[in-house]
Amino acid sequence: MSQAAIVLIGRILLSIIFIMAGLGKLGDPTGNAAYFASVGLPMASLLVWLVIALEVLAGIAILIGFMTAPAAYLLALFCIASAVVAHFDFGDQVEMIMFMKNLAMAGGFLVLAANGPGSISVDARRAG
């Protein structure tokens, strides 16, 4: 399998969780805002819409390889922030696994930002 195909598969795998999570939040933004408030986040009713936009739009950007580095940096930061805010309970094994999963995804996004989206991407096509 070519490197271009492997990078494309990696982008698909990194993006799908965010696209699906963002679209899922659209089904119950009020419930998600209540969860955000329960973990101490301010302005949860507004924040939920910002998170939905970030997850869906940055997820699609990663998927198609458009503005890949900025989208990857944003999602890496989001992964780290959400790990610390929502999953920093090492007394609970599930939360510890979620924390580590978020850090692993952040690492994947940093590698993607540093190395680019590969040749099967909008960014590569725009670069000529």
Predicted TM-score of the model (pTM): 0.95
Run of H or E including 100:
helix 93-115
Burial (CB < 10 A; 0-12, 13-18, 19+), residue 35, is middle
Residue 29 near residue 48 (C-beta atoms within 8 A): yes
Arithmetic mean of pLDDT, 87-99: 95
pLDDT at 48: 97
> pLDDT above 90 covers what percent of the chain?
99
Q: Model confidence at 23, in pLDDT bands (50, 70, 90)?
A: very high
> pLDDT above 70 covers what percent of the chain?
100
Give the tens place of pLDDT for each residue, 37-68. Answer: 999 999 999 999 999 999 999 999 999 999 99
What single-letter DSSP state applies at residue 13?
Answer: H
